Protein backbone atom coordinates (compact mmCIF):
# COMPACT_ATOMS: atom_id res chain seq x y z
CA UNK A 1 0.00 0.00 0.00
CA UNK A 2 1.50 3.32 -0.94
CA UNK A 3 0.83 6.65 0.73
CA UNK A 4 1.05 8.95 -2.28
CA UNK A 5 -1.73 11.50 -2.44
CA UNK A 6 -4.63 10.64 -4.72
CA UNK A 7 -4.86 12.46 -8.02
CA UNK A 8 -7.14 15.48 -7.98
CA UNK A 9 -10.00 13.47 -9.49
CA UNK A 10 -13.62 13.88 -8.57
CA UNK A 11 -13.98 11.07 -6.01
CA UNK A 12 -17.11 9.29 -4.84
CA UNK A 13 -17.29 7.36 -1.55
CA UNK A 14 -18.34 3.74 -2.09
CA UNK A 15 -17.61 2.33 1.36
CA UNK A 16 -15.77 2.61 4.64
CA UNK A 17 -13.24 0.49 6.50
CA UNK A 18 -14.77 -0.20 9.91
CA UNK A 19 -12.31 -2.53 11.68
CA UNK A 20 -9.88 -5.42 11.34
CA UNK A 21 -10.72 -9.03 10.64
CA UNK A 22 -8.52 -11.85 11.87
CA UNK A 23 -4.76 -11.66 12.40
CA UNK A 24 -3.48 -11.48 8.82
CA UNK A 25 -4.19 -7.81 8.12
CA UNK A 26 -7.65 -8.14 6.57
CA UNK A 27 -10.14 -5.32 7.11
CA UNK A 28 -13.91 -5.26 7.52
CA UNK A 29 -15.59 -2.95 5.05
CA UNK A 30 -19.06 -1.42 5.12
CA UNK A 31 -20.18 -1.04 1.50
CA UNK A 32 -22.40 1.75 0.14
CA UNK A 33 -22.91 -0.08 -3.17
CA UNK A 34 -25.98 -2.07 -4.16
CA UNK A 35 -25.53 -4.99 -4.01
CA UNK A 36 -22.89 -4.57 -1.35
CA UNK A 37 -20.33 -6.86 -2.97
CA UNK A 38 -20.20 -4.59 -6.07
CA UNK A 39 -17.53 -2.70 -4.12
CA UNK A 40 -15.20 -5.64 -4.81
CA UNK A 41 -15.36 -4.82 -8.55
CA UNK A 42 -13.08 -1.84 -7.90
CA UNK A 43 -9.46 -2.91 -7.34
CA UNK A 44 -7.80 0.50 -6.89
CA UNK A 45 -9.05 2.54 -3.96
CA UNK A 46 -8.28 5.99 -2.67
CA UNK A 47 -8.55 5.84 1.12
CA UNK A 48 -9.49 9.13 2.78
CA UNK A 49 -9.87 10.13 6.43
CA UNK A 50 -9.87 13.82 7.23
CA UNK A 51 -6.89 15.28 5.39
CA UNK A 52 -5.07 11.95 5.11
CA UNK A 53 -5.16 10.22 1.72
CA UNK A 54 -3.67 6.85 0.74
CA UNK A 55 -3.80 4.63 -2.31
CA UNK A 56 -4.63 0.94 -1.85
CA UNK A 57 -5.05 -2.08 -4.07
CA UNK A 58 -7.63 -4.77 -3.32
CA UNK A 59 -6.17 -8.27 -3.59
CA UNK A 60 -9.21 -10.32 -2.53
CA UNK A 61 -12.54 -9.76 -0.87
CA UNK A 62 -15.58 -11.69 0.24
CA UNK A 63 -19.01 -11.18 1.73
CA UNK A 64 -19.13 -11.83 5.49
CA UNK A 65 -22.65 -11.24 6.83
CA UNK A 66 -23.59 -7.62 6.15
CA UNK A 67 -20.00 -6.48 5.68
CA UNK A 68 -17.16 -7.35 3.36
CA UNK A 69 -13.77 -8.68 4.36
CA UNK A 70 -10.96 -7.32 2.20
CA UNK A 71 -7.29 -8.11 1.81
CA UNK A 72 -5.20 -5.14 0.62
CA UNK A 73 -1.86 -5.45 -1.15
CA UNK A 74 1.07 -5.11 1.27
CA UNK A 75 -1.12 -5.18 4.38
CA UNK A 76 -0.28 -8.32 6.38
CA UNK A 77 -0.32 -7.12 9.98
CA UNK A 78 -3.41 -6.81 12.21
CA UNK A 79 -2.10 -3.72 14.03
CA UNK A 80 -1.25 -1.96 10.76
CA UNK A 81 -4.73 -2.84 9.45
CA UNK A 82 -6.30 -1.40 12.62
CA UNK A 83 -4.86 2.00 11.65
CA UNK A 84 -7.10 2.04 8.57
CA UNK A 85 -10.34 2.05 10.59
CA UNK A 86 -12.69 4.91 9.62
CA UNK A 87 -11.01 5.50 6.24
CA UNK A 88 -13.54 6.12 3.45
CA UNK A 89 -13.08 4.06 0.29
CA UNK A 90 -13.26 6.29 -2.78
CA UNK A 91 -13.05 5.82 -6.52
CA UNK A 92 -13.15 8.34 -9.38
CA UNK A 93 -16.75 8.99 -10.49
CA UNK A 94 -15.64 8.17 -14.03
CA UNK A 95 -15.31 4.49 -12.96
CA UNK A 96 -19.00 4.17 -12.07
CA UNK A 97 -21.10 2.28 -14.63
CA UNK A 98 -23.11 4.38 -17.07
CA UNK A 99 -26.80 4.53 -16.23
CA UNK A 100 -29.73 4.52 -18.64
CA UNK A 101 -31.91 7.58 -19.14
CA UNK A 102 -34.03 8.30 -16.08
CA UNK A 103 -31.61 6.58 -13.68
CA UNK A 104 -29.47 8.56 -11.25
CA UNK A 105 -26.84 7.94 -8.65
CA UNK A 106 -27.71 9.36 -5.24
CA UNK A 107 -24.84 11.85 -5.38
CA UNK A 108 -26.40 13.32 -8.55
CA UNK A 109 -29.66 14.05 -6.70
CA UNK A 110 -28.05 15.67 -3.68
CA UNK A 111 -28.32 19.46 -3.90
CA UNK A 112 -31.30 19.53 -6.27
CA UNK A 113 -34.03 22.05 -5.42
CA UNK A 114 -37.32 20.31 -4.68
CA UNK A 115 -40.42 22.11 -6.01
CA UNK A 116 -43.98 20.87 -5.60
CA UNK A 117 -46.85 21.13 -8.12
CA UNK A 118 -47.92 24.47 -6.61
CA UNK A 119 -44.50 25.92 -7.45
CA UNK A 120 -43.40 26.01 -3.80
CA UNK A 121 -39.72 25.48 -3.08
CA UNK A 122 -39.62 22.85 -0.32
CA UNK A 123 -35.83 22.91 0.01
CA UNK A 124 -32.83 21.01 -1.34
CA UNK A 125 -32.04 17.32 -1.21
CA UNK A 126 -29.44 16.90 1.52
CA UNK A 127 -29.06 13.12 1.27
CA UNK A 128 -31.01 9.93 0.70
CA UNK A 129 -31.81 7.00 2.99
CA UNK A 130 -32.45 3.38 2.16
CA UNK A 131 -35.47 2.15 4.11
CA UNK A 132 -36.18 -1.24 2.59
CA UNK A 133 -39.48 -0.48 0.90
CA UNK A 134 -38.26 2.61 -0.98
CA UNK A 135 -35.52 5.19 -0.80
CA UNK A 136 -36.26 8.43 1.05
CA UNK A 137 -34.99 11.92 0.19
CA UNK A 138 -34.08 14.17 3.11
CA UNK A 139 -35.07 17.67 1.98
CA UNK A 140 -33.67 20.50 4.09
CA UNK A 141 -34.65 24.17 3.94
CA UNK A 142 -32.54 26.52 1.84
CA UNK A 143 -32.55 30.16 0.77
CA UNK A 144 -35.98 30.91 -0.66
CA UNK A 145 -37.66 27.77 0.62
CA UNK A 146 -41.25 27.84 1.83
CA UNK A 147 -40.40 27.34 5.51
CA UNK A 148 -37.73 25.99 7.88
CA UNK A 149 -39.01 22.40 7.96
CA UNK A 150 -36.99 19.33 7.08
CA UNK A 151 -39.07 16.92 5.01
CA UNK A 152 -38.73 13.22 4.23
CA UNK A 153 -40.07 12.45 0.75
CA UNK A 154 -40.27 9.01 -0.84
CA UNK A 155 -38.15 8.56 -3.94
CA UNK A 156 -40.96 6.89 -5.91
CA UNK A 157 -42.60 7.35 -9.31
CA UNK A 158 -45.71 8.67 -7.56
CA UNK A 159 -43.80 11.43 -5.77
CA UNK A 160 -41.02 12.35 -8.23
CA UNK A 161 -42.61 13.83 -11.34
CA UNK A 162 -39.59 15.21 -13.18
CA UNK A 163 -35.86 15.69 -12.71
CA UNK A 164 -34.13 18.51 -14.57
CA UNK A 165 -30.41 18.11 -13.92
CA UNK A 166 -29.52 21.15 -16.07
CA UNK A 167 -31.78 23.40 -13.96
CA UNK A 168 -30.83 21.61 -10.72
CA UNK A 169 -34.48 20.95 -9.90
CA UNK A 170 -36.84 18.13 -9.09
CA UNK A 171 -40.60 18.48 -9.49
CA UNK A 172 -42.59 16.49 -6.93
CA UNK A 173 -46.19 15.68 -6.12
CA UNK A 174 -46.06 16.61 -2.44
CA UNK A 175 -48.27 18.75 -0.27
CA UNK A 176 -46.30 21.42 1.58
CA UNK A 177 -48.25 20.67 4.76
CA UNK A 178 -46.85 17.11 4.96
Give the C-alpha distances (Å, rounded to integers) separating 91 from 31, 75, 102, 117, 143: 13, 20, 23, 37, 32
CATH of the domain at 157: 2.30.30.240
Q: What is the pLDDT of residue 5?
A: 44
Mean pLDDT of 118-131: 95
Lowest mean pLDDT among 92-101, 145-154, 168-177: 92-101
Indicate the residue among 95, 115, 149 that finishes a domain.
95
Residue 21 has pLDDT above 70, yes or no: yes
Indicate the residue among 70, 95, 120 that finishes a domain.
95
Task: Mention every residue, 6+ apart, whose C-beta is less than 8 A from residue 154.
Answer: 134, 135, 136, 137
> Do 112 and 83 lie in a common domain?
no
Q: How many domains does the chain have?
A: 2
Q: What is the pLDDT of residue 9?
A: 60
Q: What is the pLDDT of residue 133?
A: 86
Indicate the residue among 40, 63, 95 that finishes a domain.
95
Domain with 81 in it: 11-95
Q: What is the pLDDT of residue 8?
A: 44
Q: What percent of the chain has pLDDT over 90?
A: 84
Amino acid sequence: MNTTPAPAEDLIVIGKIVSVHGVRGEVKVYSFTDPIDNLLDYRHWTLRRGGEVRQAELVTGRLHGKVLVAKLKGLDDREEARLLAEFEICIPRSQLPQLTDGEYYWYQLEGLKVINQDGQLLGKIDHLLETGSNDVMVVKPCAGSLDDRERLLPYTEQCVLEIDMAAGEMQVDWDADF
